[in-house]
């Protein structure tokens, strides 16, 4: 996928680009609205990541012009302003909205979501190490042994399985399991992960659920 | 000063204009009255003079010019025949200047003499029984009286002008005296600054009309002081709180930089860096919470009716696993159908904070209860645990941001302050006390949706 990053702070832009390239995508950086428009005129992008605070014309102006011209490219807004009114205003022109400081993985995950429009939601069976997942039957087995999970544990596990090999952030977890936007009690989330581990990893030699401290979880056969 | 000046000027010119109008009207009236009384008197005198003269003439006698001096209030007369020839006149009539006589019978009129002076003139026709006739001319020198009236008029004009000026000056003095308290407000209010935030204006020492103003100003000052103090306090505490994770960040990074220079790669690199990320997240959360506490004045437009029993169930479900791990039971006791008008996300957050808190202190084997019910016109949401309860010495101060010594570590810092603020935003309050065998946190709101019916 080809992503355009509109961000004037060079260090932040560089880290964003690294993050997106880490997800296997290509990314270009435009330091202001004029440059962004120039780039958009030259090629098609799969998604835009726009910082609202830009020198000269603001991100809002840019998006306004884009939408007025009929461009429906998926847009993710990054902003320091987190008040509800700013969020709602942003979502009128964009597809998603993240406030600073954000997790780069979160950015990746959200770009994935907003570009996923044409793909149907049916996941296909996944294998990780000796673990097999049949989403149609909601069946998870390791070494042929069926693993019984509570609804919450299953929701957690299917998120990990759908993102197998990649890191899933805590925010994504909370969203998937409880439908909340984060800012919840960390302990409760930890407990849920602990219980999942107890059922999925503890009885077996190979550990599949790995924690990356400060970042998230990754399901991987290592 | 300019604002007071213009009120002063308004009053001053108002008084002057009022005095001017009133005294002008009075002066006109008085002058008219005087004029009319003189005219009436003239007419009377002339009539008095004319009657005997006309009688004499009618009887065919010529009136005799008396030898006595012309009395002051007497009209001079001249008798003319039908051709206009003079037949007789009073002695002093000869001395009268030639006047323009009216043509016909009219009430006495004023005419100007050829060399100035004012004369009251009157013309009557006379006839004898035999049929002879002519005109009788009567004249009175009114110059003196006219001068009197003119003098009077001048005096009145001066009086009118003087009264206007006098009213202006006096009005200004009185107004300045009346408005003096405003200067005092300026002086007193000027002494209120960030070093003396608790100073107020003394309402009782001001006149009645200004008391409401002063009371309102004091109210505004009170609110501002509260907000300022809150912000000031939060700012200071935030600075302290942020120092700790920043210190952690700095130390770890410093070590990593040094180790990266060395022969061996740093151990647990991923782990330590992960710890730094967590420190960043903590700081971000702190900042977000502080902004929330410092800024929010009202709920805004995201209010909707929130059904409380499902909300409690959602909270219970969230903490189900964690509670189980801790060996604590969670149950809900919800009065059916209760609805609160508010922000569902904020209410959820408040409950999360309270339950997380309770869970931290609940001993194994105990039960945590969440509930909602109506009580005396209020909606009550509560979280009750069977733990050690709130430390009694801290109880009155719980809910203040960053309270230390609560034994909950970092988490307790802002948690209760946030819950308290969320309650306030919904028009309610947070009540904390030790009840049953543990701590009880209650959120109480006015029952605006009429649940108790």
CB contact under 8 A, A184 and B302: no
What ipTM, to 2 d.p.? Answer: 0.70
Q: Are B353 and B396 in contact (CB under 8 A)?
A: no
pTM surpassing 0.90?
no
Q: How far apart are CA A72 and CA B384, in angstroms?
A: 51
Query: What percent of chain B is modeled with pLDDT above 70?
Result: 91
**pLDDT > 90? residue B330:** yes
**pLDDT > 50? residue B322:** yes
Residue B68: its pLDDT value, please? 46
Flag whether residue B73 sits within 8 Å of chain A, measured between CB atoms: no
Least confident of A1-5, B216-220, B252-256, B398-402: B398-402
**pLDDT > 60? residue B407:** no
Instruction: For residue A219, give the 3-state DSSP assignment.
Output: strand
Strand partners, B444: B380, B429
Flag whether residue B297 sits within 8 Å of chain A, measured between CB atoms: no
Query: What percent of chain B is modeled with pLDDT above 90?
Result: 13
Q: Which of A181, A187, A213 sits opposite B322 (nearest CB)?
A: A187
CB contact under 8 A, B321 and A195: yes
Q: How many CB atoms lie within 10 A of CB B50?
A: 18
Flag whether residue B325 sits within 8 Å of chain A, measured between CB atoms: yes
Residues 6+ apart with CB under 8 A from B358: B368, B383, B384, B385, B387, B439, B441
Flag whether residue B292 sits within 8 Å of chain A, measured between CB atoms: no
Angle subtended at Cα A170 by Cα A165 and Cα A176, rounded to the nearest 5 degrees: 85
Q: Which of B275, B285, B318 sits opposite A213 (nearest CB)?
A: B275
- Min distance A187 CA to chain B CA atoms (Å): 7
Which residue in A99, A187, A218 has the most chain B C-beta atoms within 10 A of its own C-beta, making it the best mutation to test that interface?
Answer: A187
**pLDDT > 70? residue B388:** yes
CB contact under 8 A, A84 and B270: no
In order of A83, A199, A212, B27, B118, the CA distances from B32 in angstroms are: 79, 117, 108, 8, 17
CB contact under 8 A, B274 and A192: no
Residue B88: its pLDDT value, please? 82
Residue B406: its pLDDT value, please? 47
Q: How confident is the model at residue B409 (pLDDT cuts 50, 70, 90)?
A: very low
Q: How far apart are CA B284 and CA B184, in angstroms?
A: 48
Question: What number of C-beta contacts closer than 8 Å exist between A and B?
Answer: 61
In the predicted model, residues of chain A with pLDDT beneath 70 are 117-122, 182-183
Q: Which residues of A touch B281 (CB under 8 A)?
A: 101, 214
Q: How far apart are CA B422 and CA B430, in angstroms?
A: 9
- To 10 degrees, the CA torsion angle through B164, B169, B170, B176? 140
Q: How far apart are CA B372 and CA B383, in angstroms?
A: 9
Q: Cite the DSSP H helix spans in chain A.
A: 10-22, 33-42, 59-68, 84-93, 104-114, 151-162, 170-178, 186-200
CB-neighbour burial class of residue B277 (10 A; exposed 0-12, middle 13-18, buried 19+): middle
Q: Are A80 and A50 in contact (CB under 8 A)?
A: no
- Min distance A183 CA to chain B CA atoms (Å): 8
In order of A26, A75, A216, the CA distances from A111 in angstroms are: 13, 8, 18
Assigned token pair, B67: 């030898």
Flag whether residue B298 sits within 8 Å of chain A, measured between CB atoms: no
Helices A186-200 and B308-326 pack at an angle, to 10 degrees, of 60
CB contact under 8 A, B349 and A183: yes
Average pLDDT over residues B189-202: 83
Assigned token pair, A131: 């673990």
Average pLDDT over residues B8-13: 84
DSSP B338: -
Assigned token pair, B76: 């001079």
Q: How far apart are CA B381 and CA A201, in angstroms?
A: 40
Q: How confident is the model at residue B72 (pLDDT cuts 50, 70, 90)?
A: very low
Residue of chain A whose Cα is closest to the Cα of B346 = A183
Assigned token pair, B110: 């004023």
Assigned token pair, A10: 């060079």
Q: How confident is the model at residue B56 (pLDDT cuts 50, 70, 90)?
A: confident
Average pLDDT over residues B22-44: 88
- Min distance B330 CA to chain A CA atoms (Å): 14
Flag whether residue B140 sits within 8 Å of chain A, measured between CB atoms: no
Average pLDDT over residues B377-399: 84
Q: Which of A192, A195, A212 sits opposite B274 (nearest CB)?
A: A212
- Min distance A31 CA to chain B CA atoms (Å): 25
Q: How many CB atoms lie within 10 A of CB B451?
A: 18
Residue B410: its pLDDT value, please? 44
Residues of A contacting chain B (CB within 8 angstroms): 82, 84-85, 101, 152, 178, 180-181, 183-185, 187-188, 190-192, 194-195, 212-215
Q: Which residues of B touch A183 (CB under 8 A)?
A: 285, 288, 349
Residue ranges of B 340-379 with Cβ closer than 8 A to chain A? 345, 348-349, 352-353, 355-356, 359-360
CB contact under 8 A, B275 and A185: no
**pLDDT > 80? residue B448:** no
Q: Shortest CA distance to B385 belongs to which of B369, B408, B400, B396? A: B369
CB contact under 8 A, A84 and B285: no
Residue of chain B whose Cα is closest to the Cα of A198 = B325
**pLDDT > 60? residue B71:** no
Q: What mean pLDDT value characterizes chain B?
A: 82
SS3 percent helix, strand, coil of chain B, rounded to 5, is 55, 20, 25
Residue B275: its pLDDT value, please? 83
Residue of chain B whose Cα is closest to the Cα of A192 = B321
Q: Where are the beta strands (DSSP E) in B114-212?
A: 118-127, 133-141
Q: What are phi and psi of A172, to 5 degrees?
A: -65, -40
Report strand pairing: B329-334 vs B367-375: parallel
């Amino acid at each position: 996928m080809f992503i355009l990053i509109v961000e004037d702070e060079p260090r932040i832009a560089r880290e964003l680009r690294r993050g997106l390239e880490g997800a296997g995508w290509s990314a270009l950086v435009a330091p202001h609205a004029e440059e962004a428009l120039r780039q958009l005129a030259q090629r098609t992008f799969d998604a835009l990541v726009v910082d609202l605070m830009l020198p000269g014309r603001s991100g809002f102006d840019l998006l306004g012009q884009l939408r007025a011209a009929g461009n429906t490219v998926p847009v993710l807004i990054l902003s320091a302003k987190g008040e509800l009114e700013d969020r709602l205003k942003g979502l009128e022109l964009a597809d998603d909205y993240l406030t600073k400081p954000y997790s780069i993985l979160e950015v990746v995950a959200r770009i994935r979501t907003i570009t996923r429009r044409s793909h149907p939601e049916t996941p296909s069976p996944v294998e990780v190490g000796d673990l097999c997942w049949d989403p149609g039957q909601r069946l998870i087995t390791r070494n042929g042994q069926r693993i019984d999970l509570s609804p919450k544990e299953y929701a957690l596990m299917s998120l990990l399985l759908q993102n197998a090999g990649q890191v899933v952030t805590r925010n994504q977890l909370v969203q998937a399991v409880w439908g909340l936007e984060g800012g919840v009690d960390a302990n409760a989330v930890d407990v849920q992960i602990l219980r999942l581990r107890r059922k999925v990893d503890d009885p077996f030699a190979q550990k599949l659920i790995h924690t990356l401290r400060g970042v998230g979880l990754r399901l991987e056969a290592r | 000063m300019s604002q007071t000046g213009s009120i002063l000027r308004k009053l001053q010119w108002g008084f002057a204009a009022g005095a001017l109008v009133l005294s002008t009207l009075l002066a006109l009236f008085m002058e008219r009255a005087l004029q009319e009384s003189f005219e009436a008197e003239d007419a009377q005198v002339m009539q008095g003079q004319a009657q005997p003269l006309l009688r004499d003439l009618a009887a065919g006698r010529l009136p005799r010019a008396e030898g006595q001096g012309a009395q002051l209030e007497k009209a001079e007369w001249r008798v003319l025949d039908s051709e206009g020839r003079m037949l007789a006149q009073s002695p002093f009539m000869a001395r009268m200047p030639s006047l323009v006589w009216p043509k016909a019978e009219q009430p006495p009129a004023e005419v100007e003499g050829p060399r100035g002076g004012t004369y009251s003139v009157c013309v009557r026709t006379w006839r004898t029984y035999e049929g002879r006739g002519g005109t009788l001319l009567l004249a009175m020198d009114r110059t003196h009286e006219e001068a009197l009236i003119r003098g009077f008029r001048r005096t009145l004009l001066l009086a009118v002008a003087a009264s206007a000026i006098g009213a202006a000056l006096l009005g200004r003095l009185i107004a300045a005296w009346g408005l003096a308290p405003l200067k005092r407000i300026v002086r007193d209010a000027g002494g209120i600054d960030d070093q003396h935030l608790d100073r107020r204006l003394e309402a009782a020492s001001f006149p009645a009309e200004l008391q409401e103003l002063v009371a309102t100003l004091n109210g505004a000052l009170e609110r501002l002081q509260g907000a300022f103090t809150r912000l000031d306090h939060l700012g200071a505490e935030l600075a302290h709180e942020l120092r700790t994770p920043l210190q952690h960040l700095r130390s770890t990074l410093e070590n990593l930089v040094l180790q990266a220079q060395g022969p061996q790669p740093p151990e647990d690199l991923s782990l330590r860096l992960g710890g730094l990320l967590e420190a960043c997240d903590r700081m971000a959360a702190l900042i977000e919470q502080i902004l929330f506490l410092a800024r929010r004045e009202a709920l805004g437009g995201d209010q909707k009716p929130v059904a409380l029993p499902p909300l409690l169930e959602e909270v219970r479900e969230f903490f189900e696993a964690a509670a189980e791990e801790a060996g604590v039971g969670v149950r809900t006791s919800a009065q059916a159908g209760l609805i609160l008008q508010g922000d569902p996300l904020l209410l959820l957050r408040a409950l999360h904070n309270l339950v997380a808190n309770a869970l931290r202190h609940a001993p194994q084997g105990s039960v945590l209860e969440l509930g909602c019910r109506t009580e005396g016109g209020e909606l009550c949401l509560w979280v009750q645990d069977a733990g050690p309860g709130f430390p009694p010495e801290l109880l009155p101060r719980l809910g203040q941001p960053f309270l230390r010594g609560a034994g909950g570590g970092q988490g307790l810092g802002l948690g209760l302050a946030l819950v308290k603020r969320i309650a306030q935003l919904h028009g309610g309050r947070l009540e904390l006390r030790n009840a049953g065998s543990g701590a009880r946190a209650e959120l109480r709101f006015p029952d605006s949706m009429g649940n108790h019916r």
